[in-house]
Chain A
Amino acid sequence: MAIKTENFILNIGPQHPSTHGVFRLRIVLDGEVITDLEPVFGYLHRGIEKLAEGRTYLQDIPFTDRLDYLGSMTNNHAYVMAVEKLAGITVPERAEYIRVILDELQRIASHLAGLGFFLNDLGALQTPLLYMFREREKIVELFDMCSGQRLNYNYYRFGGFVQDLPEEFLPALKILLDTLPGFIDEYEQLISTNEIVLIRTKGVGVLKRDLAINSSAAGPVLRASGINWDIRRNDPYSIYNRFEFDIPIAKNGDTYDRYMIRILEMRQSVRILRQAVKDLPEGEIMGKAPKLLKPPAGEVYSRIEGPKGELGFYLVSDGTDKPYRWRVRPPCLLNLSALKDMVVGWKVADLMAIFGSIDIVMGEVDR
């Protein structure tokens, strides 16, 4: 005698503790196994691309802060680099070194927050999150010293920076670089050999190599599937070709690999920071840039390796002081293109683990 069953549509609504912001998922369940998934975007769509066309290039820098709000310094860097290519502005040496220092500190802060939320979703209610936030506070204090803000820094300008680093910055940074590796080791030892984390993440949510390339994934998601592609190594920008660092690559493409890659990347960032702080030269920090910037007509696409993946800006200029087309290439949105293939066949509890390991920020998905 067969039992009559039917599929059940579950709505994981926009207000939810585990969705990293306002994100909605509609899943079709057969018992507890997921058979289909449809994401709904747009609950934070603020129309930044249209607003940016009505403001000058300098007034658009605060918009870039609010895209991926856990990684504001790298967003600023990507936009400022694109406009400098368009207008032909050169950046002095000291400013380039300071840019590398701030970018790598931002990468560590973003990975700390991402890993804290990932473990929150797995069920370790808030305890690892508070430890991550404690370390992140130390980095955010350093940023507060330079720019006066704790979250949306708005510190980069075309040609360098408008104010030099304060005197307390470098001694505080050196103290932080001595204590941070010890904390990363302690974290890895406590979490990575934990039985519950291993059972829930090894082999779960595999993203195969060909699908990762085909669905335009980038950043740690792409490198966890075995593809050796990092913009700092393959298409170097700024002065990254002067530093020695490794690119961690994993083999399987499951949730555990995506988590492990972020820990290894934090260690490599500390390595780059040590080299940059040792070689930091004196000098001026602002290149020659006109007060009212009117770049010549043309277009540019320039990209950096942000903490979530490849962040690119496509700008079209028509000779006036306002951009004609202002487009952000969002890494978080494209990392979600293959979400359905990663999740189908697993249960509802695994959905949160897989989704947390991709590490998205809704400000960038919806813009």
Chain B
Amino acid sequence: MELNFEKPLSLLTLDEIDQQEGGVIQSFRTGHTSPYPDPADWLNGEEPPPGVFITSVEKVLNWSRHYSLWPVMFGLACCAIEMMCMAASRWDLARFGMDIFRASPRQADLMIVAGTLTWKMAPWLKRIYDQMPEPKWVLAMGACGTSGGLFRDSYSVVPGFNLVVPVDVYVPGCPPRPEALMRAIMDIHEKIDKTRILKR
């Protein structure tokens, strides 16, 4: 899914860059028509693995990941304002350890995608997701993330984020209140507490 670099990038004109990116978006659109399955097997209970040593290492790792999730800022449209309201002083997000929204995906482990995703933006969402190091989680915020929302039958809107990235938690609402978003983040904390390091 990369741009085709027969000539070095400094010799391409801006129009040629536009043409190549248009080709990338067209091929992305035809290639992503079926959704990724939801990684939801943490909801069914599992037996704990044997061994005292593994269990306490897991507990420490999960505890440290739970209390310092750093989100990458990916606010696209109206839901981004509610995400910022949640990070502001009334519904303080810093008490969970998530106060700084990282601008670079290499330093983050949670991606909150807030807003409507269009086909023009979709390849770059996949690229930012690929640049995040493991382990990583994705939260789809709003009705536009679950199914395309109000704009579902438009010619340029992706009907649901799970066509592009695998999503862990969906938050309904248009836009969801900050309290609903906090409940979703606490669901991700529960999921982190139940991960096992031996099988992923």
Contact = CB atoms under 8 A, between A and B. Distances in A.
Q: Do chains A and B touch in the complex (CB under 8 A)?
A: yes
Interface of A: 6, 9, 13-17, 21-22, 26, 38, 42-48, 50-51, 62-63, 66, 69-70, 113, 129-130, 133-134, 137, 150-152, 362-363
Interface string B64-82: 0000000001111110111
Contacts of A46: 116, 118, 151, 154, 156-157
A21 B116 CA distance: 11
Contacts of A63: 150
17 contacts: A6-B10, A14-B121, A15-B128, A21-B76, A22-B76, A43-B118, A44-B115, A44-B116, A46-B118, A66-B78, A130-B88, A133-B89, A137-B90, A150-B85, A150-B177, A151-B78, A363-B77
Contact of B154 (A38, A51, A113, A129): A51
A16 B72 CA distance: 10
A21 B74 contact: no
Contacts of B151: 46-48, 51
A363 to B, nearest CB: 6
Size band of the interface chain B makes with A: 35 or more
- A-B complex: 9 closest residue pairs judged by Cβ atoms: A47-B154, A69-B78, A133-B88, A43-B121, A46-B151, A17-B103, A151-B175, A130-B89, A43-B120
B77 A69 contact: yes
Interface in B93-129: 101, 103, 115-116, 118, 120-121, 124, 128
A50 B155 contact: yes
A13 B74 CA distance: 12
B43 interface: no
B145 to A, nearest CB: 14
B94 to A, nearest CB: 11
A14 B73 CA distance: 12
Given A6-B10, A14-B124, A70-B81, 5 more contacts: A42-B118, A45-B156, A46-B157, A47-B156, A150-B175
Nearest to B105: A15
Contact of B157 (A47, A113, A134): A47
A134 B81 contact: no
Contact of B88 (A14, A38, A134, A152): A134
Contacts of A45: 118, 120, 156
A62 B73 CA distance: 26
A62 B101 CA distance: 30
Contacts, number: 93
A9 B16 CA distance: 14
A47 B155 contact: yes
Nearest to A125: B100
B14 interface: yes
Given A15-B124, A17-B103, A134 B82 contact: no
Interface of B: 10, 14, 73-78, 80-82, 84-85, 88-90, 101, 103, 115-116, 118, 120-121, 124, 128, 150-151, 153-157, 174-175, 177
Contacts of A150: 82, 85, 175, 177
Contact of B120 (A17, A42, A137): A42
Contacts of A17: 73, 101, 103
Contacts of B175: 150-152
B157 A21 contact: no
**Which of A44, A51, A63 lies at the interface centre, i.e. has the most chain B CB atoms within 10 A of its CB?**
A44
A111 B93 CA distance: 24
B14 A38 contact: yes
A15 B106 CA distance: 14
B73 A152 contact: no
A62 B151 CA distance: 11
A324 B88 CA distance: 43
Contact of A44 (B73, B85, B118, B177): B118
A119 B98 CA distance: 22
A50 B128 CA distance: 30
Contact of B81 (A15, A48, A69, A130): A69
Contacts of A47: 151, 154-157
Contact of A134 (B14, B73, B89, B124): B89
B18 to A, nearest CB: 8
A66 B150 contact: yes
Contacts of A43: 76, 118, 120-121
A45 B175 CA distance: 19
A13 B85 contact: no
B124 to A, nearest CB: 6
Contacts of B118: 42-46
A22 B78 CA distance: 12
**Which of A26, A48, A62, A66 lies at the interface centre, i.e. has the most chain B CB atoms within 10 A of its CB?**
A66
B121 to A, nearest CB: 5
Contacts of A152: 78, 174-175
Contacts of B124: 13-15
A62 B150 contact: yes
Contacts of A137: 85, 88, 90
Contacts of A26: 14
